[in-house]
Structure 1
């Protein structure tokens, strides 16, 4: 049993009350668990271990002890148990069924890095089991899932961090960008462009035998029943070692059944920063217009007419009408990153650079002292997990809270719906409803496959 020291009931109730009243609260940075006694380190578990699952786990060993892993692929599970054992000197327990982790009383928090279609079910059940949650982005597959997660966070008072790491990492470039916009360094905002890249198309991907050790039915989980598909070519580079063309490992991002393509994948990063800088993280757009787009298969009534090829948009330009009638453009073209344009200049930021004359002008006219900390809500954490653990200790919500994330992600979800139906959508950001389009509104939620409904709601 962990001896992780939880806050007093009084502090917990104060924090929970503030969440209910204001939606969320940012923590002020103090000494992290990783900087204190080993007996105060929280106990974590990771659910979904391939690629990003191991990335967020490996960044967290300095702050937490990992007692358990879960993955539906026995090979992935075994490999990562071995890696973790070498790193922390003791082996986490391995499970094929994540629910056995949620049953354990010694685990304080779970990190979720499954494919997107599993996020909501696991996250909700984890909170109801008394766990704090760190969940990878994009948080949800639908707008309705986001609303459910918000409800359960408020109901349980759990701490919930979304894995939009650009808010905490990458040498503070994105924090600097937000601070520059807020300090008026480019004047009044005229346009923001998010370059997020396009997705691949594919030839027909045949149904083949499921790889040994993979529980395919459990991998599908809440998604519709489907055969395992793959072509022989093996993917190289990041996410490599598996079929390049498949409806499973890594390439699941190219199927609406499990993801939202680049719109939700990279969009969840760059649209997040753009929305934050615009001060629109408590509201959203009022109109979404698909200026241009390309789908790799034919669609009817918003659904692909074939099920054996990638189906998310390969190219697109989406115009989002943000508060103040500021245009936010989401495009598959150009450099990956964000261009901010205003009446006094423009600058570009991505994970490797922040450039433009307003940036150069900082040499002679730096941002005011404390401007970055004001954006972040206190001293910037060592990394995204550090911020999460600080929030666990203080019982406040971290820098990537579910409310601001869902508001941003609604823009991405709406963009995908507009592409699938091929028309403009009007959105009420107060009611969080599509206006006057019953067919489009049907995409707000999706039923789970029988046997994989969310337990406890």
Structure 2
């Protein structure tokens, strides 16, 4: 008999070890069929945020789930997703403007959150409380205080949360680099350098009438009320998506009300890999201080931009964090995008395109142990590569009720460092961090930025 994958079944699986064991996959299946599910077994997914990221990344989940609901405040995004995701197989999906309608659907098993960053924590918390497992794009939070709330609710609800830091599923590159660190090929790591790129200025962007296809109030959500700004691309028609200079959609990462800029965008990837390597090598990932140099496209005063009519997240920076054992993690806007790991026995560089360095060359004559990648990947199945494997990992973990490869706790350690680096840059002074109290030492003004005010009606409850 085929059992339909529903929310109630997920809860039952989480409570019944015998049934979970009966469906357990082999630790390292190398075939795609090991993760395949029949149409009747596929979880029903609700997509919240159907813009470029949400739309494009859903293609990696094809064949593993059924898309039954699409929510977006932009009617163009929403309809395009329903018409085209899964090659039209989602045409019967329900469309919504309000994400809460998706969370209220009993038939929705899992939720994919691909909204702008300022919405992530609120929707994630409410989705977990609604009994949904969640794949959420990075970063999970806009502030360190939001991370505390996410951790608490995850613990209370027992939901499975996969963070969209898909580099953790790049088996031949990032996972291999971390496995090398864990196998001692670098010796003691003394420094990691995460080159993540910077931002840029825009000049003043004028206020613009809100397009008829956009619910601007719902797009803003928890963020402060502010005019819609847009310099449209003259080559596009009035009903096209927002492309050009704007405080919406593709350029939201250039505004502090919605994002931490490149620091929390690419930093969520490369800082995460650096700290993962530290842990795998048996070293500390506990931050004690951060400081450095940065530049912004507008002047700052008391930690805030003096102009809010144009892009204002950091354009360039070089910030150094020190771990409790003295290891340094440098976050640079310059240099080739990727992670450089330097140790007492050698150094390696890893990016989305390559893995290089003498310790890598030495693998030809002295390969890693056969189980090195498996141990690094928590012994979870690896039927695919890269993005597709990251989705397969998520669905496997929802079935087996085990921690996914991109877990909440380790992600928050990395993204909290990125938040701290941003705060240090905004005040242009070094910060000392008390990890036990989760506060900046002796700096009330900086500590005020550990949280944010939410617009009335969009608060995070509890």
The alignment's TM-score, normalised by the length of structure 1, stands at: 0.91
Partner of 1:444: 450
The structural deviation recorded for 1:244 is 2.4
The equivalent position to 1:410 in structure 2, one of 411, 416, 419, is: 416
Does the CA-based 8 Å contact 1:162-1:400 persist in structure 2?
A: yes
Q: Is 1:12 aligned to 2:20, yes or no?
A: no
CA distance in 2, matches of 1:427, 1:55: 38
CA distance in 2, matches of 1:297, 1:53: 31
CA distance in 2, matches of 1:227, 1:78: 25
> Mind listing any 5+ residue stretches in structure 1 that lack a counterpart?
16-26
SS in 2 for 1:35: coil
CA offset digits 1:70-115 (Å, max 9, x no partner): 0000011111111036342642111111111111100001000000
Partner of 1:182: 182
CA offset digits 1:150-208 (Å, max 9, x no partner): 11111111111110000013x53000100111111122212110000010111111111
CA distance in 1, matches of 2:86, 2:382: 30
Matches within 5 A, 1:351-430: 351-378=352-379, 379-382=381-384, 383-430=389-436
Does the CA-based 8 Å contact 1:196-1:266 persist in structure 2?
A: yes
In structure 2, relative to structure 1, the CA distance for the partners of 1:371 and 1:230 (3 Å cut) is: same
Tell me the number of residue pairs that the alignment of Structure 1 and Structure 2 aligns: 439
CA distance in 2, matches of 1:246, 1:10: 45
Question: What value does the CA root-mean-square deviation take over the aligned residues?
Answer: 2.3
CA distance in 2, matches of 1:144, 1:190: 30
The structural deviation recorded for 1:232 is 3.2
Partner of 2:70: 69
CA distance in 2, matches of 1:361, 1:307: 52
Partner of 2:287: 285
In structure 2, relative to structure 1, the CA distance for the partners of 1:182 and 1:85 (3 Å cut) is: closer
Partner of 1:339: 340
SS in 2 for 1:359: helix
Partner of 1:119: 120
CA offset digits 1:363-416 (Å, max 9, x no partner): 111111110110001143531111011110011221111111001111100000
CA distance in 1, matches of 2:13, 2:76: 45
The structural deviation recorded for 1:298 is 1.1
CA distance in 1, matches of 2:374, 2:307: 50
CA distance in 2, matches of 1:90, 1:231: 33
Does the CA-based 8 Å contact 1:85-1:91 persist in structure 2?
A: no
SS in 2 for 1:341: strand
Does the CA-based 8 Å contact 1:234-1:244 persist in structure 2?
A: no
Partner of 2:197: 197
CA distance in 2, matches of 1:56, 1:228: 27
CA offset digits 1:256-309 (Å, max 9, x no partner): 11000000000000000000000189853100012x110111111101111101
> Mind listing any 5+ residue stretches in structure 2 that lack a counterpart?
19-25
Q: Is 1:249 aligned to 2:249, yes or no?
A: yes
